[in-house]
Structure 1
Amino acid sequence: MNKSKLMLILFTVFFAVNFGFSQVGINTDNPLSTLDINGNLSLKTVTLNGNGTGNGGAAVLIDDGIYISINPLATDDKFQLPNPTLFPGRVYIIRNIQNAVTAQLTTTTNLLFPKNSTVGSAQIYMYEGNLRTVIVISDGQNWTYIN
């Protein structure tokens, strides 16, 4: 192998290794994490209205945004999280903005688990005094929720 080919291979390996372990800093010259933000962070917010059919109706799919205000129009309007196996690591912050109307949070597959529990359920109910705001995180199989 000639010297120029060897140099090209070493150059390529060096930069591939460096890019594989690179860190990105926003408003910082010395990032300490994979993504290091020195400043404020804004998240996409959306409002989803229920379909007004309550427990017997079809669910409104949650498929956009990070901070989601859900607005049930009838008691137990359903709002459905996507399949957790398709979105491992996905995080949503969900808040029922109605004071007197219960919202039902469901998932397309598997279960919703409260933090520190091995007992999951197919749905949770969000209303004043009980899970008004939840953070849900996909572990690649199920959703874990924190309130």
Structure 2
Amino acid sequence: MKSKIYYSIIFLAFLLFSSLSFSQVGINTTNPLSTLDINGNLSVKTVTLNGTNSGGGGSASLINDGVYISVRPLATDDKFQLPDPTLVPGRVYFVRNIQNSVTAQLTTTSGMFFPKNSTTGSSNLYMYEGNLRTVIVISDGVNWTYIN
């Protein structure tokens, strides 16, 4: 008899915890419709990275923190390197070159950059006034897709 009660308690605990693990979280809402449902403003971490002042031939400034990244190249084609997309699937960065007249070069440790709606990739992106000044990059687990 004790074993039936014991197994019944374990079964009920399992049901309770399994339903909680698939629940939805709402912030400022009583009826969340997604895994995370935010009714209000969202702030993300912003970071400013300076270039290495070595141009395209030098080492890259690593992008490994923040969501909204302001890059400040100190020499033309200063490199800013995204992490390996295979290590951060689903990660999203907003990258903006905040220099008006200096080109920033966006690179990655592996994979390529693909514009949305294209199957032709490139190993880097050049960001300057009038061309890709701001890009959103999204890891698909193999490469980066970018939207400007």
Q: TM-score, normalising length from structure 2?
A: 0.96
CA distance in 1 between counterparts of 2:120 and 2:110 reads 15
Q: Could you report, residue by residue, the CA deviation over 1:18-50 in whole angstroms, capped at 9, with x for unpaired residues?
A: 123100011111111100111100000000000
Structure 2 residue aligned with 1:128: 129
SS at match of 2:18: helix
Q: What is the CA distance between 1:9 and its match in structure 2?
A: 2.5
Structure 1 residue aligned with 2:16: 15
CA distance in 2 between counterparts of 1:65 and 1:91 reads 10
Structure 2 residue aligned with 1:96: 97
Taking only aligned residues, the RMSD between alpha carbons, in angstroms, comes to 1.0
Tell me which stretches of 4 or more aligned residues in structure 1 moved more than 6 Å.
Answer: none
Q: How does 1:48-59 map to 2 (within 5 A)?
A: 48-59=49-60
CA distance in 2 between counterparts of 1:50 and 1:15 reads 52
Q: How does 1:67-146 map to 2 (within 5 A)?
A: 67-146=68-147
In terms of mean alpha carbon deviation, does 10-19 or 63-72 score higher?
10-19
Q: What is the CA distance between 1:3 and its match in structure 2?
A: 2.1
CA distance in 1 between counterparts of 2:6 and 2:113 reads 55
Q: How does 1:1-12 map to 2 (within 5 A)?
A: 2-12=3-13
Task: Specify every segment of 5 or more residues in structure 2 that has no aligned partner in the other structure, as ranges.
Answer: none
SS at match of 1:74: coil
Q: How many residues align?
A: 147
CA distance in 1 between counterparts of 2:98 and 2:13 reads 53
CA distance in 2 between counterparts of 1:13 and 1:123 reads 49
CA distance in 2 between counterparts of 1:4 and 1:93 reads 55
CA distance in 1 between counterparts of 2:76 and 2:66 reads 24
Task: Specify every segment of 5 or more residues in structure 1 that has no aligned partner in the other structure, as ranges.
Answer: none
CA distance in 1 between counterparts of 2:54 and 2:17 reads 54
Structure 2 residue aligned with 1:63: 64
Q: Which amino acid aligns with 2:109?
A: T
CA distance in 2 between counterparts of 1:142 and 1:3 reads 53
